[in-house]
Amino acid sequence: MATFNELGGKTGRSRVAVVAAGVISPLGFGLDETLASVRASRDCISPVTRFDVEKCRCKTAGQVSDERLVSRRRNGRKIDRLHRASHMMMAVFEQLFGQDPEFKPDLTVVGTTSGGMSFGEDYYRALHRDRGLRHSPGWIANYPPQKPVIDAQDAFEISAPCQIIANACASGTNAIGHAFECVSSGKYQRVLTGGYDALSELVFVGFDSLQASTPEKCRPFDRDRSGMVLGEGAAILALENLEDARARDARILGEIIGYGISTDNHHLTQPDPSGSGPRRAMEQALHSAGRSAEEVNYINAHGTATPFNDAAEGKAIAELFGSIPVSSSKSMIGHSLGAAGAIEAVVCLLALQAQLLPPNINFRRPDQDLDLDIVANKSREAKIDIVLSNSFGFGGTNASILIQKLAA
């Protein structure tokens, strides 16, 4: 039977600090812009401009500004040929190392779902329309999901091994959780981790065809919720052994204290309506941290605004935590798939620092079947020390992480 010390970690395991973070999402570029948007409860969903959505039910998404990505690109033909996802990853690396230039990772662990899917689109269309495969070597070279991470590592002369986790929409949280375990176990001292996904026409149309996307506003946990809205972005966190971080006087943004995972095995696209899968992941995260449900002050829910997901997750939260503030960042930025868990982890870190509860915007009417304390429409100040971030995906894959505000 595992035992726990008074600080909430398993005995014999290292504590894990977050010493820097970079983020790009519809909320903005960097920590300051992101916090300002969260505080202002900003709706960042806009009409899709990157490709034609005339035949789709859903015509909106949370989008990252191409103009801002282009403005920060470095000169050179090779850089100009890179995919948007590579530029996102290079931008968040730049933010992170700007905060902590001394951080030297032993390992990089990143989650994603679609990877270079848009290059796959181009390859397929070239075959379908018989317009030749002259550019196919470039498409193939950029298709692997590790390519944006390798591009970012090359740009910053990082030679650490790179691991990619592609586990549906739990990928970003799985990556952070795995990185947490790597440092907590003592096998690694410093790990870069996070997630990325760029908006892809193939993925967008796929979700629209499933009628999982909504032509209306994204309304997580609302009685009238009608579906998700896609988003995009990237976020990266620098995890380090807490003692080492303190020894070098690193700035500490927060502490990862627990990680839990589970699998429903219920349905390819729908969660078990009992909420048993999400509940097991959250229970494991609490057990990993040596914490009780009563000690958690806020939950950043997966909250996709689909009827089945919100019902299952809401049921699990209510049963395990009772009345606790809950919100979904996807109401503001959409569902960025493999990047979602990483972006939402950054939102949780900012919430701990600013002592505020992120909002669940577009909320009109509570669901009578969900007994939840929704942070409706506006952020609000609150004393919070421990937060839980959830990510759940197709196939019943579930992941939760606990993040703690580190006492001065």
Question: How far is the C-alpha of 88 from the C-alpha of 296, rounded, in Å?
Answer: 32
At residue 116, the 3 state secondary structure works out as: coil
Residue 161 and residue 78 in contact, taking contact as beta carbons nearer than 8 Å: no
Output the CA torsion sign for 374, 378, 384, 386. Answer: positive
Active-site residue among 56, 178, 302, 348? 302
CB 348 within 8 A of CB 394: no
Rounded Cα–Cα distance for residues 282 and 288 (Å)? 10
Instruction: Note if 335 is an active site residue.
Output: yes
**CA–CA dist 291, 293 (Å, integer):** 7
Angle at 14 between CA 11 and CA 17, to 5 degrees: 135
Cα(348)–Cα(259) distance, integer angstroms: 15
Letter for the amino acid at 233?
Answer: G
Catalytic: which of 169, 182, 218, 348? 169
Q: What is the DSSP letter of 28?
A: E
Checking phi first, is residue 275 left (phi over 0); if not, alpha (psi -120 to 50) or beta? Answer: left
Q: What is the rounded CA–CA span in Å between residue 274 and residue 297?
A: 24
Separation of CA 228 from chain center = 15
Closest CA to 357 of 384, 332, 380: 380
Active-site option among 83, 87, 178, 335: 335
Integer angstrom CA distances of residue 20 from 92, 96, 105, 135, 191 = 11, 6, 12, 38, 11
Distance CA 243, CA 312 (A): 39
Residue 72 to residue 120: CA distance in whole angstroms = 26
Whether 128 is catalytic is no
Strand segments, DSSP code E, in 217-359 are: 233-241, 254-263, 298-300, 325-327, 356-357
Is 302 designated active site? Answer: yes
**How many residues are given for the chain?**
408
The answer to whether the CB of 300 falls within 8 A of the CB of 387 is yes
Between CA 320 and CA 278 the distance in angstroms is 10
Q: Which residues are catalytic?
A: 169, 302, 335
